[in-house]
Amino acid sequence: MKAIRVHATGGPEVLRVEEVPAPTPARGEALVKIEAAGVNFTDIYYRLGWTKAALPFTVGVEAAGTVAAVGPEVTGFEPGERVVYTGPLGAYAEQAAVPAWRLVRVPRGIDARTAAAAMLQGMTAHYLSHSTYPLKAGDTALVHAAAGGVGLLLVQMAKMRGARVIGTVSTEAKARLARDAGADEVIDYTQADFEAEVRRLTGGRGVQVVYDSVGKTTFDKSLNCLAPRGYLVLFGQASGPVPPVDPQVLNQKGSLFLTRPTLGNYTATPDELNARAGDVLGWVAAGRLRLRIERTFRLAEAAEAQRLLASRGTTGKLLLVPS
């Protein structure tokens, strides 16, 4: 089978299409024939070596397809079932062996591409808005990259929770997408200082939570946007890692909270995984949550897909299709 392999960390050029043996599902695993794989910043972090993995490895942590075979001691899944998953490496390939407990059944009415587009980013938006800082009516949230893949879903979920949403974007086209998703106010950070605008829009009070996937270039101003006892939820680092932080700064700026969550810790058990995925996929199936698939690439175009994602010029989900 074909897979995208990394033998040394580095730029997009290290992503190589190779012919490799098809995996055999071990005890507790299922073999998934992949129909669509998500392209995520997590994949870039692995490729750069910011997130460690033993070399060589197959890139990708999210895919949808059908169960081709099951290993020993797997119950609850049979060959031919439509499934989606996120977590284990190996999704940039034609097949992947996945722990069966990580699989989620795809509801009727949702195709593989939609399922792959919804899983990681949808559950990320879900844990951010429902668990890390559970939004409530009366809260104001600042969402950076509000027209990105997670951003568009997070804006919608924040509005479901009754919050006021301020989004940041870099173009007028992205501003329209963020508004269409429900953002109450949108700031083009290339035209205005987002910190000053947030203070103006909140009457100087600040916001209860900042959801920040950008990292290095937004971090300091994100802290300054918070109301006393507010939460800075740093869930990505698209502009690079944040330098070390003196915790005393959190005290000085109003007894603030800082957290760096990751999806794995919010889907750590089968019950939590299925509850979170069930909400997301159920909302998509019911039309309550709108997805935006911006572009689909062939497996051999993985490097191009990652370059586009890293440019921060995307406004939705990127997918790889093996065939």
Q: What is the pLDDT of residue 14?
A: 98
Whether 202 is covered by a domain: the verdict is yes
Whether 149 is covered by a domain: the verdict is yes
Q: Residue 267 and residue 263: Cα distance in Å, rounded?
A: 6
Do 220 and 299 have their domain in common? no
Low-confidence residues of the chain, pLDDT below 50? none
Do 212 and 293 have their domain in common? no
CATH of the domain at 141: 3.40.50.720
Contacts of 197 (CB under 8 A, 6+ apart): 187
User: Are residues 7 and 17 in contact, defined by beta-carbon separation less than 8 angstroms?
Assistant: no
Do 8 and 103 have their domain in common? yes
Q: What is the pLDDT of residue 253?
A: 97
What single-letter amino acid sits at 77? F
Whether 128 is covered by a domain: the verdict is no
Q: What is the pLDDT of residue 246?
A: 95
Contacts of 34 (CB under 8 A, 6+ apart): 63, 64, 65, 91, 93, 94, 95, 96, 322
SS3 100: helix
CATH of the domain at 61: 3.90.180.10
Q: Is the pTM of this model over 0.85?
A: yes
Q: What is the pLDDT of residue 24?
A: 96
Do 94 and 168 have their domain in common? no
Do 112 and 218 have their domain in common? no
Q: Which run of H or of E encompasses 270?
A: helix 270-286
- Picking from 157, 180, 183, 181, the residue whose alpha carbon sits closest to that of residue 168 is 183
Whether 125 is covered by a domain: the verdict is no
Q: What is the pLDDT of residue 9?
A: 97
User: Are residues 211 and 128 in contact, defined by beta-carbon separation less than 8 angstroms?
Assistant: yes
Whose tokens are 């190589």? That residue is: 16
Do 170 and 242 have their domain in common? yes
Residue 53: CA atoms inside 13 Å, Cβ hemisphere, count? 24
Q: What is the pLDDT of residue 239?
A: 86
What's the chain's length in residues? 323
Q: Taking the CA atoms of the chain, what radius of gyration do you get in angstroms?
A: 20
Whether 127 is covered by a domain: the verdict is no
What single-letter amino acid sits at 38? G
Q: Would you tell me how many other CB atoms lie within 10 Å of the CB of residue 22?
A: 15
User: Are residues 118 and 283 in contact, defined by beta-carbon separation less than 8 angstroms?
Assistant: no
Helices 149-160 and 172-181: crossing angle, nearest 10°? 30
Whose tokens are 């924040």? That residue is: 158
Contacts of 319 (CB under 8 A, 6+ apart): 36, 37, 38, 39, 113, 116, 117, 293, 295, 296, 297
Do 109 and 182 have their domain in common? no
Query: In which domain, by residue range, is 144 found?
Result: 136-260
Q: Which two tokens stand for residue 248?
A: 């005393």
Do 215 and 314 have their domain in common? no
- Picking from 176, 173, 178, the residue whose alpha carbon sits closest to that of residue 159 is 178
Q: What is the pLDDT of residue 313?
A: 74
- Picking from 235, 305, 293, 232, the residue whose alpha carbon sits closest to that of residue 264 is 235
Q: What is the pLDDT of residue 296?
A: 97
Residue that finishes a domain, picked among 235, 260, 285: 260
Q: What is the pLDDT of residue 319?
A: 97
For the chain, the domain total comes to 2
Do 252 and 273 have their domain in common? no
Q: Please provide residue 188's backbone torsions phi and psi, each rounded to the nearest 5 degrees.
A: -85, 105
